[in-house]
Amino acid sequence: MLNALRRSKERQLTASRLNQALVTRAREPVFFLRLGVQDTLDGRFDLVVVHAWLVLDRLAAAGETALSQAFVDTIFITFDEALRELGAGDIGIGKRVKKLAKAFYGRMQAYGDAKDAAAMEAALIRNLYRGANEPGAKALARYVLAAKARLAASDLETGNLDFGPLPEEE
Other CB atoms within a 10 A radius of the CB of residue 10 amount to 14
At 8 the pLDDT is: 80
Contact 45, 100 (CB under 8 A): yes
| Residue 38 exposed, middle or buried by CB count within 10 Å (0-12, 13-18, 19+) | middle
At 160 the pLDDT is: 79
pLDDT at 168 over 80: no
At 81 the pLDDT is: 76
Higher pLDDT among residues 59 and 84, named by residue: 59
pLDDT tens for residues 64-123? 999 999 999 999 988 877 777 766 666 666 777 788 899 999 999 999 999 999 999 999
Contact 127, 46 (CB under 8 A): yes
Residue 139 makes CB contacts below 8 A (sequence gap 6+) with 35, 167, 168, 169, 170
Alpha-carbon torsion 73, 76, 78, 84, what sign?
negative
Instruction: Round to whole Å and give the CA distance between 117 and 126.
Output: 14
Segment 111-139 shows an average pLDDT of 94
pTM score, whole prediction = 0.89
Average pLDDT, the chain: 88
